[in-house]
């Protein structure tokens, strides 16, 4: 398909924003004519990155105020990779300025800002797509494929987590101008739910025939950051002994309208290997991420199909070839080494395609608000000692009968085989 050119401005030139912008420029048809950050050095670095990649084919301008950027530039969309408490406000302003939005991940600070996000998208006709790259990771996509084929039967329970030792990134937020620090100082709850909840929500058809109804959330005590400071910065460091608001581990249980339960864990302040703990379990079996496995592996058990009763099998060995999502069968994806092993490129390509076609994105504003609001609800539940908190329905009841999603290669509501050459229809 011929690629229409689209012009995407990039806001937030920290490590994530700049890295993703560089990759975005490798998506056919994408032009990045403007970058924005509050820090001058980061604007300069962003401009340099664009110039190193655009072969002098177009000019690139830098801005410290995104609203000025909206006024001065002729853009189709923006990619926003700022901080958790600025994302939604920038997205709202961008849609009001007539731009589609790709929003980096993070949790919302309030229910109200999520409603504003949804209403602005509805009123302006501009989309806001959460850039939840984990929806496009290999094992999550294969699992989605298997769920859609009914391999696990009826889904009953899912689990996930963001288990990532970020102690240095959090504590050194002032030295490195990083946004996480203030959140861990002042907020207690599930601060980063979307890496695991995005793929789970797509597995469970959330906002399309199903919805999150309520959650309960509890946080542990906070010891990990002070222990890290003592061992790495010494007890004279001014944050040593700080009364950190965020518990080291926050556990949240979500109940869905169709009866499923989901458990998620936020775990960034203790020493441990990375894991998203992805698990999907149904009446016929389950798949479960193997923590820190080489090659993105998982274990699986299928009733009556697995060779030995009550025994795990390795997903890669026996099932991957059969159930790989067609996007991951393609050479250019599998051989793509950058950006979390390929999923970053896929989400950028999905975003760019929606901008180019001026069409619905695979993760829409209802998904975005529903996944992000978990943070605000979790904070409320934690503050009330783990009390149940109900989810707002951002669709205003339309979840029982929604307009159709857009089918395509990047669709996360269906595996659209007819969009892939050589796949059996």
Contact positions vs ligand NAD (CB under 6 A): 11-17, 36-39, 42, 66, 81-84, 86, 104-106, 133, 177-179, 340
Joined together, the tokens standing for residue 389 give 């908190």
How far apart are CB 129 and ligand NAD at their closest, in Å? 13
Length of the chain: 425
Cα–Cα distance for residue pair 262/278, rounded to 1 Å: 11
Element (H, E) at 10: strand 6-11
Q: How do 61-63 and 100-103 pair as beta strands?
A: unpaired
Q: How far is the CB of 103 from ligand NAD (least distance, A)?
A: 9
For residues 106 and 282, which CB has a smaller minimum distance to ligand NAD in the complex?
A: 106
Nearest residue (CB) to ligand NAD, 38 versus 218: 38
Question: Shortest approach of ligand NAD to residue 191 CB, angstroms?
Answer: 9
Query: Which is closer to ligand NAD, CB of 106 or CB of 342?
Result: 106
How far is residue 277's CA from residue 293's CA, in Å, rounded to a whole number?
11
Which of 246, 263, 328 lies closest to 295 in space, CA to CA? 328
CB of 395 to ligand NAD, least distance (A): 25
> What is the token pair recorded at 61?
């301008």
Within 13 Å, how many C-alpha atoms sit on residue 380's CB side?
15
What strands, in cross-sheet order, belong to the sheet with 389-390?
A: 313-314, 298-302, 285-289, 279-282, 155-163, 261-267, 249-256, 212-219, 389-390
For the bound state, the minimum distance from the C-beta of residue 64 to ligand NAD, rounded and expressed in Å, comes to 7
Nearer to ligand NAD, 133 or 281 (CB): 133
Identify which of 114, 217, 233 has the alpha carbon closest to the alpha carbon of residue 170.
233
Beta carbon of residue 268, minimum distance to ligand NAD (angstroms, whole number): 11
Separation CA 399–CA 156 (nearest Å): 19
Of 45 and 306, nearer to ligand NAD (C-beta) is 45
- Shortest Å, Cβ 116 to ligand NAD: 17
CA–CA distances in Å: residue 67 to residues 9, 40, 96, 99, 114: 12, 16, 11, 12, 21
Beta carbon of residue 133, minimum distance to ligand NAD (angstroms, whole number): 5
Which residue's beta carbon is nearest to the bound ligand NAD? 14
Nearest CB to ligand NAD, comparing residues 66 and 315: 66
- Angle of CA points 376, 380, 384, to nearest 5°: 165
Which residue, 152 or 162, is less far from ligand NAD as judged by CB?
162
Residue with tokens 């994530």: 16
SS3 at position 398: helix
40 vs 52 by CB, closer to ligand NAD: 40
């Amino acid at each position: 398909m011929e690629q229409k050119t689209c012009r995407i401005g990039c806001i937030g030139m920290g490590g994530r924003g700049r890295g993703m912008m560089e990759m975005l420029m490798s998506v056919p048809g994408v032009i990045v004519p403007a970058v924005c950050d509050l820090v001058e050095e980061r604007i300069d670095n962003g401009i340099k990155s664009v110039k190193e990649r655009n072969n002098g084919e177009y000019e690139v301008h830098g801005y410290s105020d995104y609203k000025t950027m909206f006024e001065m530039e002729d853009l189709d969309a923006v990619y926003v990779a700022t901080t958790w408490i600025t994302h939604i406000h920038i997205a709202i302003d961008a849609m009001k300025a007539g731009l589609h939005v790709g929003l980096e991940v993070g949790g919302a600070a309030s229910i109200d800002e999520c409603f504003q996000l949804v209403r602005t998208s509805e009123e302006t006709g501009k989309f806001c797509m959460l850039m939840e790259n984990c929806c496009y990771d290999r094992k999550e996509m294969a699992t989605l494929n298997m769920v859609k084929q009914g391999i696990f039967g009826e889904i009953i329970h899912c689990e996930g987590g963001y288990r990532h030792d970020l102690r240095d990134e959090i504590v050194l937020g002032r030295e490195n101008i990083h946004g996480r620090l203030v959140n861990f100082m002042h907020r207690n709850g599930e601060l980063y739910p979307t890496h695991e909840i995005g793929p789970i929500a797509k597995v469970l058809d959330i906002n399309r025939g199903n919805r999150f109804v309520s959650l309960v959330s509890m946080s542990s005590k906070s010891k990990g950051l002070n222990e890290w400071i003592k061992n790495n910065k010494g007890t004279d460091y001014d944050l040593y002994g700080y009364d950190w608001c965020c518990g080291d581990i926050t556990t949240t249980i979500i109940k869905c309208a169709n009866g499923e339960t989901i458990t998620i864990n936020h775990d960034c302040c203790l020493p441990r290997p990375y894991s998203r703990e992805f698990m999907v379990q149904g009446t016929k079996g389950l798949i479960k991420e193997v923590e820190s496995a080489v090659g993105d592996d998982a274990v699986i058990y299928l009733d009556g199909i697995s060779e030995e009763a009550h025994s795990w099998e390795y997903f890669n060995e026996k099932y991957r070839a059969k159930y790989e999502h067609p996007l991951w069968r393609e050479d250019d994806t599998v051989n793509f080494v950058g950006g979390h092993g390929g999923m970053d490129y896929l989400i950028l390509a999905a975003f760019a395609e929606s901008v180019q076609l001026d069409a619905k994105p695979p993760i829409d504003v209802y998904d975005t608000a529903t996944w992000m609001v978990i943070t605000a609800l979790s904070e409320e539940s934690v503050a009330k000692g783990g009390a149940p908190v109900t989810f707002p329905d951002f669709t205003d009841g339309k979840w029982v009968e929604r307009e159709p999603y857009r089918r395509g290669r990047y669709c996360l509501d269906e595996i659209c085989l007819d969009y892939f050459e050589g796949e059996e229809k």
